[in-house]
Each structure stands twice: as C-alpha cells, then as structure tokens.
Amino acid sequence: MDSILLRNMTFYGYHGAFPEEKAMGQRFVVSLELYLDLGPAGASDQLGDTVNYAAVYEDVRQVMEGPAYNLLERVAQRIAEEVLARHPRLQGIRVEIEKPSVPIPGAIEAVRVAMERWRPGGSAGQRTRR
C-alpha cells in the first residue's frame, strides 16, 4: 500500500477534558498517513490522480481549530471522518495527535493518540508497517 505522510502539523486548539484546557487552549501536533494507490499519479504527473495534501491540511486545521472536544480520541475520529469524506481516492488513514502539555502532575513528555480508519473493502491487511 502506498502512502503520503503529513508529519508534525502544529495547531492551537481548545480540546481537553478540563475547564482550564478549554479556557486557555494549548498546542497539538498532528501527523497523518494517507493510504492510496500512487501509481496513477506516478505515471501521469497530474494532481488529479492523487490527493492534494494542501487540501488535507486545511481539513485538519478546521477540525483542530474548530469546536472543542473533550477527548483526543474524538478529535482523531473527526479528522479521519472529514479527510476520508472529502478525498475519495483515499483507501484509509492513520491519524496521530500529540498533546505536548499534558495536565498531569508528573514528568511526561506528551500523550499521543493514534488510530487507523479504512473504507469498507479497504486494504488494511495488505499494507506493511514503516
């Protein structure tokens, strides 16, 4: 399975379970792996034969900077839903969201949620881990 990676996109948002997270906001780091067949674009050299990653970035930005959610799990799910809905060439997506400023009384660098979502009949079992 071919893929396009968008790594370490940084946004400021108001997601979190605690009132102070919703009031003050914080930085989030999002990475995506978009699964699709890149053969047609490799042969044609035409943007219409792949996924426009500038448009994908904008889809992610709208979710991250839009209405606040309590859980990173929900934010990741919304990103997966939006991107898959808007880009029919995609067979699947992996979303990773990192919260570097975790309100935990202890030493922790960050918390990260990762999820994969596939279209019905997608090739989840055929891809190899990088």
Instruction: Let me know if 99 is a catalytic residue.
Output: yes
- Catalytic residue of the set 15, 78, 94, 99: 99
Torsion of CA 33, 38, 42, 48, to 10 degrees: -90
| Ordered DSSP codes for 7-68 | EEEEEEE---SSHHHHHH-EEEEEEEEEEE--HHHHHH--GGGS--HHHHHHHHHHHHTSS-
Residues labelled catalytic = 99
